[in-house]
C-alpha cells in the first residue's frame, strides 16, 4: 500500500465488504454504487426504514466477521445480457440501470461469498487483506446526484493498510470536529444560517460582522497599495448581457433570474460584466493600461441543497473580485504581480499553498488558438518562477484557463481560495479595445482574479485554521475587562472607555459573579487578553492580564496593554 492507486483499491474493496455485510444483515436492501474517495469510501443503499448509528455498529461488526473468514474475491467477465438477467432476478434495479447505460457486450463482476457486484475493479485478492477500517457517518444522496431521483442512504467509511494509520486518521477527524466552523460559529456568536431565512444564506452576528469588516478593511488597503481602482456594480443586469457574455449558455444552471417591467434580468453570479462596462465607458489608450478594477462584490449562485455546507458553500457570498485589462505584452508581469499578492496574503494568515493549472472544460467559449495561448502563458509564468504545479484537466472557467491556489491549513487540509483566470474571449465578445502607439485599435486581455476568494468561505477556512483562536489583529474582541467585586466597577469602566477611545476592540464583564466563571467564559470565547481588576489593582492603578495562550502579567498599566495590542495590530499578530 505504497501508492494512492493501491490505497484506492483497498478502500474500494472495503466498500464492497460493507455492501456484503449490509446485504447479509438486511436482505431487502438494494445496492447502488460504492466508490473509493480521497478520504475513504462510501456506498449508497435503498432501504426505506433507513439506517441508524446503531446499525453502523452492527454493520462494522459483520464486516470484521467477514474479513476474518478471508473469503476469496473472484472476478468474472460475463455477457452484458447475462448480467442484466442476474441483477433483474435479484431485484437490484440500480445495477440494472447502470448496465443499461453500458455500451460494451461484456462486463466484469466480482463475487465474495454470497455477495456479487457489478464492478470494473480491481480488488484485493480476499477479504482477509482488509484489516483496518471504520464506518464514519450517514448521509442522504440522490441517485446519480439528481434531485428528481429517489433519496438513498449513503454510508461513509475509511480504510487503511494498518491500525496505526487508521488511528492517526481518526485522531485527525477528532481535531476536525473540534475546529468545525459551524460549531465554533455558534460558540463564538459569529453567524447563523436557518431554514426560516433560507438554505445557504448567511446572517452575520456582531462578532462575525466585525471579523468580516476587518478582513475587508485589510483587503481594501492592500489593493490600494497595489494600484487597484475601486468600482461597484449592480446586483442585477439585463439578460441580454448575460447571453452576450456566454454565461447564459454555459452557466445559467447556477444563476437566478427575475423580470422587471417585462424585461428579463439575471442576478449576477460574477462581477466581471460590470467591470467590462466600466472599461467600455471611455476610449482607452495604451498609456492607461493596465487597468485594475477591484470590487468586494456580492454574488448569488444556485447551488444544489446537497452541497451547501456552513460558510464553505453558500448561495450568496462576497468575492474580493478584480479584473485587470492589459496589453498582451503586459500579461506575464500582471500574473506575477497577482502571484506575489497571493504569496504576501497567505504569509499573513500562515497558510502554505500549492498551485494547479485548470484547462479548458467541455462547455466553453473562445477559439482553440486563444485557449492554447492562455494556457501556455500561465505555464510560462509558473515555470519561470520555478513554482511547481499540477494540471487539472477540464476544470477551467468557461472563458479561459486558470491558476488555482490550494491553501493548506494548520492540520494539513487543502482549500480552494485564490484563482487567476486568463481570458481572451470576453474582450472579443464585448469588442473591447485600446488605441496603441501606432494609433490602431487593439484588443486587451482580461485577467479575472481573487486573492482570498469568497469572504464567507475564507472566514470558514480561517475559523477552522485557527480553531477559533484568531490572532489579536483579527479578533472581534481583543480584550475583556473583569472586576472581582462591585467595588471595582467604576475603575473597570474607566479602563474600558480608555481602550475604546484608543481604538482597541474591548468588552466589559461587570457581573457580580465569581472571577473563575468569568475567566472560564472568556476562555471559551477565545479572547486574547483577559483584564482583571481587583482591590489591589484599583489602588495601584494597574491591571492583571491573563493571556489566552496561558500565563499572566501582573502590575501592568492599561496604557502598556493598549500599546501591546497596537503592536499586535501593526504586525498582524
pLDDT, one tens digit per residue, over 117-145 is: 999 999 999 999 999 999 999 999 999 88
pLDDT at 177 over 70: yes
Does residue 402 have an active-site annotation?
Answer: yes
Catalytic annotation on 373? no
The span from the CA of 102 to the CA of 111, in Å, is 20
Averaged pLDDT, 353-359: 96
Give catalytic status of residue 323 as yes or no: yes
Look up the CATH number of domain 216-455. Answer: 3.30.930.10
The dihedral over CA atoms of 194, 198, 202, 207, expressed in degrees to the nearest 10, equals -30
Q: Which pTM was predicted?
A: 0.87
Catalytic residue among 23, 62, 123, 301: 301
From 119, 272, 417, 422, active-site residue:
272
pLDDT class of 28 with cuts at 50, 70, 90: very high
pLDDT tens digit sequence for 494-519: 999 999 999 999 999 999 999 999 99
- Closest by Cα among 155, 158, 159, 113 to 137: 155
421 is a catalytic site residue: no
Q: Is 455 exposed, middle or buried (0-12, 13-18, 19+ CB in 10 A)?
A: buried
Q: Which of 321, 404, 423, 568 is catalytic?
A: 321
Residue 371: alpha-carbon gap to chain centroid:
27
Locate the domains of the chain by residue range. 4-169, 216-455, 472-570
- 32 with 44: CB under 8 angstroms? yes
**Residue 272 designated active-site:** yes
Mean of per-residue pLDDT scores for the chain:
96
Greatest CA separation for the chain: 92
Going by DSSP bridges, is the β-strand pair 402-408/352-358 parallel, antiparallel, or unpaired?
A: antiparallel
- Reported as a single tens digit per residue, the pLDDT across 57-68 is 999 999 999 999
The average pLDDT across 389-412 equals 94
pLDDT of residue 304: 87
What pLDDT shows up at residue 1?
Answer: 67
> Active-site residue 313, yes or no?
no
Residue 306 has pLDDT above 90, yes or no: no
Sheet holding 316-326, edge to edge: 229-230, 291-300, 316-326, 445-454, 414-423, 402-408, 352-358, 389-392
Q: In this structure, which CATH number among 3.90.1820.10, 3.40.50.800, 3.60.21.10, 1.10.10.60 belongs to the domain 472-570?
A: 3.40.50.800
Q: What are phi and psi of 465, to 5 degrees?
A: -60, -45
How high is the pLDDT of residue 251?
95
Tell me yes or no: is domain 4-169 CATH 3.30.460.10.
Answer: no
For residue 442, pLDDT beyond 80: yes
Among 112, 319, 330, 478, the one annotated catalytic: 319
Least trusted range by pLDDT, from 141-145, 197-201, 428-432, 524-528 = 141-145
Burial of 338 (0-12, 13-18, 19+ CB in 10 A): buried
Confidence of residue 147 (pLDDT cuts 50, 70, 90): confident
Which candidate in 62, 448, 518, 546 is catalytic?
448
Matching fold, domains 216-455 and 472-570: no
Tens-place pLDDT, residues 418-441: 999 999 999 999 999 999 999 999
* Residue percentage of the chain with pLDDT more than 90: 95
Q: Is 301 a catalytic residue?
A: yes
Q: What are the C-alpha distances in Å from 117 to residues 15, 92, 109, 156?
A: 11, 10, 6, 18
Question: Cell match 440522490: residue?
Answer: 142
Q: How far is residue 460 CA from its own chain's centroid? A: 8
In the set 95, 292, 360, 402, the catalytic residue is: 402
Cis status, amide bond into 290, omega within 30 of 0: yes
One of 11, 95, 134, 323 is an active-site residue; which one?
323
Amino acid at each position: 500500500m505504497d501508492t494512492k492507486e493501491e490505497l484506492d483499491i483497498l478502500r474500494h474493496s472495503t466498500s464492497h465488504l460493507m455492501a456484503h455485510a449490509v446485504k447479509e444483515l438486511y436482505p431487502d436492501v438494494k445496492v447502488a454504487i460504492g466508490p473509493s474517495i480521497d478520504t475513504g469510501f462510501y456506498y449508497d443503499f435503498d432501504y426505506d426504514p433507513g439506517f441508524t448509528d446503531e446499525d453502523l455498529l452492527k454493520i462494522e461488526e459483520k464486516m470484521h466477521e467477514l474479513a476474518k473468514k478471508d473469503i476469496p474475491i473472484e472476478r468474472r467477465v460475463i455477457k452484458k445480457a447475462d448480467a442484466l438477467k442476474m441483477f433483474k432476478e435479484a431485484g437490484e434495479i440500480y445495477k440494472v440501470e447502470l448496465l443499461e447505460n453500458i455500451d460494451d457486450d461484456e462486463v466484469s463482476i466480482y463475487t465474495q461469498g454470497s455477495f456479487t457486484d457489478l464492478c470494473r475493479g480491481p480488488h484485493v485478492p480476499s477479504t482477509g487483506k482488509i484489516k483496518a477500517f471504520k464506518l464514519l457517518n450517514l448521509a442522504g444522496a440522490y441517485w446519480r446526484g439528481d434531485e428528481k431521483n429517489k433519496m438513498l442512504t449513503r454510508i461513509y467509511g475509511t480504510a487503511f493498510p494498518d491500525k496505526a494509520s487508521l488511528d492517526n486518521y481518526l485522531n485527525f477527524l477528532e481535531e476536525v470536529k473540534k475546529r468545525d466552523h459551524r460549531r465554533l460559529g455558534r460558540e463564538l456568536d459569529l453567524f447563523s444560517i436557518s431554514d426560516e431565512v433560507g438554505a445557504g444564506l448567511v446572517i452575520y452576528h456582531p462578532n462575525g460582522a466585525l471579523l468580516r469588516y476587518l478582513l475587508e478593511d485589510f483587503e481594501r488597503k492592500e489593493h490600494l497599495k497595489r494600484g487597484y481602482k475601486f468600482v461597484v456594480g449592480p446586483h442585477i443586469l439585463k439578460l441580454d448581457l448575460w447571453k452576450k457574455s456566454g454565461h447564459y449558455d454555459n452557466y445559467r444552471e447556477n444563476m437566478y433570474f427575475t423580470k422587471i417591467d417585462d424585461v428579463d434580468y439575471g442576478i449576477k453570479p460574477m462581477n466581471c460584466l460590470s467591470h467590462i462596462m466600466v472599461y467600455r465607458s471611455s476610449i482607452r489608450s495604451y498609456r492607461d493600461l493596465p487597468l485594475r478594477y477591484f470590487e468586494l462584490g456580492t454574488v448569488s449562485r444556485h447551488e444544489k441543497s446537497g452541497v451547501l455546507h456552513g460558510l464553505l458553500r453558500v448561495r450568496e457570498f462576497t468575492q474580493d473580485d478584480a479584473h485587470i485589462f492589459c496589453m498582451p505584452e503586459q500579461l506575464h508581469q500582471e500574473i506575477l504581480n497577482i502571484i506575489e499578492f497571493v504569496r504576501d496574503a497567505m504569509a499573513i494568515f500562515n497558510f502554505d499553498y500549492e498551485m494547479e493549472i485548470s484547462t479548458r472544460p467541455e462547455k466553453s467559449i473562445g477559439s482553440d488558438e486563444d485557449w492554447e495561448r492562455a494556457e501556455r502563458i500561465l505555464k510560462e509564468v509558473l515555470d519561470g518562477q520555478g513554482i511547481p504545479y499540477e494540471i487539472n484537466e477540464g476544470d477551467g472557467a468557461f472563458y479561459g484557463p486558470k491558476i488555482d491556489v490550494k491553501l493548506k491549513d494548520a492540520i494539513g487540509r487543502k482549500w480552494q481560495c485564490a484563482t487567476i483566470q486568463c481570458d481572451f474571449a470576453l474582450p472579443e465578445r464585448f469588442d473591447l479595445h485600446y488605441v496603441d502607439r501606432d494609433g490602431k485599435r487593439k484588443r486587451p486581455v482580461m485577467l479575472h482574479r481573487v486573492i482570498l476568494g469568497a469572504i464567507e468561505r475564507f472566514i470558514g477556512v480561517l475559523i477552522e485554521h485557527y480553531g477559533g483562536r484568531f490572532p489579536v489583529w483579527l479578533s472581534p474582541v481583543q480584550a475583556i475587562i473583569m472586576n472581582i467585586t462591585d467595588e471595582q466597577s467604576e475603575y473597570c469602566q474607566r479602563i474600558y472607555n480608555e481602550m475604546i477611545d484608543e481604538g482597541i476592540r474591548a468588552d466589559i464583564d461587570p457581573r457580580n459573579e465569581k472571577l473563575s466563571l468569568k475567566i472560564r467564559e472568556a476562555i471559551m470565547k477565545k479572547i486574547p487578553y483577559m483584564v482583571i481588576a481587583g482591590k489591589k489593582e484599583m489602588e495601584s492603578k494597574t491591571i492583571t492580564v491573563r493571556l489566552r495562550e496561558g500565563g499572566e502579567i501582573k502590575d501592568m498599566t492599561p496604557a502598556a496593554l493598549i500599546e501591546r495590542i497596537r503592536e499586535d495590530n501593526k504586525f498582524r499578530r
